[in-house]
Structure 1
Amino acid sequence: MKNDLGGANLPALRSHNAALVLDLLRGAGEAGISRLELAERTGLTPQAVSKITARLRAEGLAREAGRRASTGGKPRTVLRLVPSAAYAVGLHLDRDELTSVLVDLAGTPVVTRTAALDLGAGAPAVLSAAAREVRELLAGAGLAPPAELAPGEGVAPGEGVAPAPAPAPAPAPAPAPGGGPGPVSDGGAGTGAAPAAGAARDTDTDPDAPSGARAEGGRSVVLGVGVAMPGPLDHPAGAPGRITGHPEWDGFPVRDVLARELGRTVVLDKDTNAAALGLALRSPTADSFAYVHLGTGLGAGLVLDGRLLRGARTGAGELGHQTVQLDGPPCGCGGRGCLEVLCLAAVARGDLAEAARVLGTGAAGLVRLLDIDRVLLGGRAVLAAPGTFERGTRAVLAELGLPTEVAVTPYAVAEGAAQLVLAPVFGK
């Protein structure tokens, strides 16, 4: 789950020990945690913890949060994370919709936007729309200057096969107290028009977020952009495979093109993997579960013992293309009787009970193969009728003697995409 966060310009984020401390600060929340507790839980010496926390405070990532009464000796000073010190963007490129979210360092959504999208419009047009959306999102939050949205300046067809160059240094504003960096510049020209009609709209804004998404002391950075899209997908290469119904995306260097267009760190993964990662980070225990997503397609994200399973060739979780009916209808993947084609056909004709039964059959296969603790259901189709899918999936598992926990989660894929950027900051 590691990735290069060099564009963040915060030296503390490059330290493994600092990541351990930051993770504990994040988990402590507003209550905070003392330096002594940090030393005990990390195994670091008190001197090492003092140096790390001094650096985190100097860079605006942590601050003192008062004192805690002691059972003996002087009261302990506690520290807490400063969520507004840094941000990440998450993008979900679905077949017909683009969702973007800005989250703070603690992973809390600040602003969420959605817009119509046509994945079949081709990679250049879609990525131009995605870049435009990122610029507008950051400009609206006060984290980048407004973009020059001149038409025709996006990604041109055939461009982007070269790796993205290092982002140009942002113009530095007057140094804030403590020497931390100022806001990161937008770092790119405008993009072309969106490939489908429909202006982006804010769907959720945190009323308690700092004005203009500024950090305490006026410092803030954008660590990068996480992008989630349908699979299959080559995670190390940052390129999708043959997406069902959209073979034109096969091998297109999405990560590198978008990184060059935005001048920012970009991380790309499957939509189901992004959601599963975000859900794993929210879990209090390192358990094993499958996130089964039914929206415009069907897939799964797998977490075993708290770790996301991508597979040796990053092809794990392609649940939708498991054959369950040998003489079934043809699927866009080239097979017949796949779970995805059967499930989506049932949804299309309004037979949600049958769709839930098919989904439950796929979930049962995962439970038997992986011996997982939970099955979490998500995606637009599931959330449109959560009770039907939860009951139907649970009934199939029960009939097969598999008493595995089943629950519906409204967790957004775009939030998980942002965690692709944030997770390495906390050593995840």
Structure 2
Amino acid sequence: MNRDTGGANLPALRSHNAALVLDLLRTAGQDGISRLELAARTGLTPQAVSKITARLRAEGLAADAGRRASTGGKPATALRLVPEAAYAIGLQLDRDELTAVLLDLAGERVAARHAPLDLGAGAEPVLTAARAEVAALTALAHAEGGGVRGDGAQGGGGQGAAIPGAPTPGSAMPGGVIPGAAVRGAAVPGAAVPGAEVPGAAIPGPAAPGTPIRGGAILGVGVAMPGPLDHLTGTPGRVTGFPEWDGFPLREELARRLGLPVALDKDTNAAALGLALRPGAPDSFAYVHLGTGLGAGLVLGGAVLRGGRTGAGELGHQTVQLDGPPCDCGGRGCLEVLCLTALARGDLAEAARVLGTGAANLVRLLDIERVLLGGRAVLAAPDTYARGTREVLAGLGLPADVAVAAGPYAVAEGAAQLILAPLFGK
């Protein structure tokens, strides 16, 4: 698990201990958690917890959640996270559509937007479309975060919230989180952080060191797109069907235009990350995604397996038919071309059989215990794909469970989670 929080806006909140406390406040939900419970679960002294929570309250990140029933002494006051203290934006750049979501500090989806997109049109129109969606969600975040809550706490902390692990110029951005999750690693190092806001932009940049964060602040933008790509350098590779993206500095250029930190990862990795963080998720599974392409996100030991160049999980380009039909990747007989060809002619049963074959290869190779299906094509006929995949696995005597578990925002929400994780020490 990556413990590099990438820097914080105030030295008082840079410590791992503060991030632990903030994470427990998040997972406790609106019912909150008492200081004594925080001390017991973190191993910190009550005095240390009191100092940390006092800072969190002063900075608007925590608020009272009522009193616990008395056990003979003074009733303990419970504390909770203030979700509207800050937000993260997630973008899914698909081949023909842009999906954007706004998540609050607790990881809850506040808003979602869709726009048509032509990934093959080149960088300029794609970056322009992305910037427009970020501007729209930023305006909404400021509106959501500026109000006064019913308990009297100023939304987002009228005093100015300093977020543990929030990016500052020059910092790196790892990780990801979703509401109520017992978070396990899968960090994304190396997010770009711009030096200045683009003139005339309606998108405020990150706070400078020592500057309080206003309610409704956007902490950063996570971007997910088809692979291959290099999450360390923030550059796409030869995206299947769109070789013009090869080597384009997407993360750096988008960060410059937005005036915000940006993290980039593959779409399947982003979705797998979100699924891995859900309560009760198995330690090892494969997320198989069928939409405009076919790919997989792999989770082993609770962490997303990316590979050194984010090349892990390129399921769609496994050769399963020697001398088969040509694929846009340059190969022949790839799972993706066979599956998409069946889908194009309306043979969903065959597409499901091909998908199941790919899933079986993953189960055999990695000894995973579960296969989770998602993507636009799967969601259009979930029973067909789940049944077809189960039949292939059962026919081969493979015991892995199969479920359709990802909704239409799984990739975009996973992208936003790349930004949120460092705040909680993940």
Q: Same fold (TM over 0.5)?
A: yes
Quote the Cα distance in structure 2 between the aligned partners of 1:310 and 1:222: 27
Residue 235 of structure 2 corresponds to which residue in structure 1?
Answer: 239
Change (3 A) 1:10 1:94: farther
Matched, 1:42 2:42: yes
Aligned residues: 370
Residue 333 of structure 2 corresponds to which residue in structure 1?
Answer: 337
Residue 402 of structure 2 corresponds to which residue in structure 1?
Answer: 406
Shift of 1:123: 1.4
Quote the Cα distance in structure 2 between the aligned partners of 1:323 and 1:285: 30
1:188 equivalent among 194, 198, 202: 198
Quote the Cα distance in structure 2 between the aligned partners of 1:401 and 1:301: 23
Change (3 A) 1:128 1:90: same
Shift of 1:404: 1.2
Q: Specify the code of the residue in structure 2 equivalent to 1:372.
A: I
Quote the Cα distance in structure 2 between the aligned partners of 1:53 and 1:92: 36
Quote the Cα distance in structure 2 between the aligned partners of 1:403 and 1:115: 40
Matched, 1:79 2:89: no
Quote the Cα distance in structure 2 between the aligned partners of 1:335 and 1:404: 29
Written as runs of structure 1 = structure 2, the 5 A alignment for 1:40-119 is: 40-119=40-119
Q: Deviations over 1:219-253 (max 9, x none)?
A: 23211000000001101100111110000000111
2:413 equivalent among 412, 415, 418: 415
- Are 1:181 and 1:220, in contact at CA under 8 Å, matched by a contact in 2? no
Residue 30 of structure 1 corresponds to which residue in structure 2?
Answer: 30
Q: CA RMSD in A?
A: 2.4
Change (3 A) 1:223 1:402: same
- Are 2:60 and 2:157, in contact at CA under 8 Å, matched by a contact in 1? no
- What secondary structure is seen at the aligned counterpart in 2 of 1:331? coil
Shift of 1:142: 3.3
Residue 180 of structure 2 corresponds to which residue in structure 1?
Answer: none
Q: Deviations over 1:66-87 (max 9, x none)?
A: 1111434322211111111110
Quote the Cα distance in structure 2 between the aligned partners of 1:315 and 1:61: 38
Change (3 A) 1:300 1:122: same
Shift of 1:313: 2.5
Q: Specify the code of the residue in structure 1 equivalent to 2:268.
A: T
- What secondary structure is seen at the aligned counterpart in 2 of 1:282? coil
Shift of 1:187: 3.7
Change (3 A) 1:244 1:56: same
- Are 1:3 and 1:421, in contact at CA under 8 Å, matched by a contact in 2? no
1:281 equivalent among 277, 293, 318: 277
Quote the Cα distance in structure 2 between the aligned partners of 1:326 and 1:47: 67
- Are 1:100 and 1:133, in contact at CA under 8 Å, matched by a contact in 2? yes
Q: Specify the code of the residue in structure 1 equivalent to 2:393.
A: L
Q: Specify the code of the residue in structure 1 equivalent to 2:303.
A: R
Quote the Cα distance in structure 1 between the aligned partners of 2:41 and 2:160: 29
Matched residues, percent identical? 75
Quote the Cα distance in structure 1 between the aligned partners of 2:311 and 2:96: 23
Quote the Cα distance in structure 1 between the aligned partners of 2:389 and 2:239: 26
* Structure 1, unpaired ranges of 5+: 145-174, 192-216
Residue 424 of structure 2 corresponds to which residue in structure 1?
Answer: 426
Q: Deviations over 1:359-412 (max 9, x none)?
A: 111111111111212111000000000000011111111111112111112332
Q: Which has the higher contact order (CA 8 A, sep 6+)?
A: 2
Matched, 1:272 2:282: no
Quote the Cα distance in structure 1 between the aligned partners of 2:55 and 2:68: 22
- Are 2:91 and 2:222, in contact at CA under 8 Å, matched by a contact in 1? yes
Residue 211 of structure 1 corresponds to which residue in structure 2?
Answer: none
Residue 225 of structure 2 corresponds to which residue in structure 1?
Answer: 229
- Are 2:359 and 2:371, in contact at CA under 8 Å, matched by a contact in 1? yes
* Structure 2, unpaired ranges of 5+: 145-155, 169-195, 202-212
Shift of 1:12: 5.9
Shift of 1:326: 0.9
More deviation in 266-275 or 22-31? 22-31
Shift of 1:427: 2.1
Residue 160 of structure 1 corresponds to which residue in structure 2?
Answer: none
- Are 1:373 and 1:405, in contact at CA under 8 Å, matched by a contact in 2? yes
Shift of 1:141: 4.0
Quote the Cα distance in structure 2 between the aligned partners of 1:229 and 1:131: 15
- What secondary structure is seen at the aligned counterpart in 2 of 1:88? strand
Shift of 1:322: 0.6
Written as runs of structure 1 = structure 2, the 5 A alignment for 1:5-404 is: 9=9, 14-142=14-142, 177-180=158-161, 187-189=197-199, 219-285=215-281, 287-404=283-400
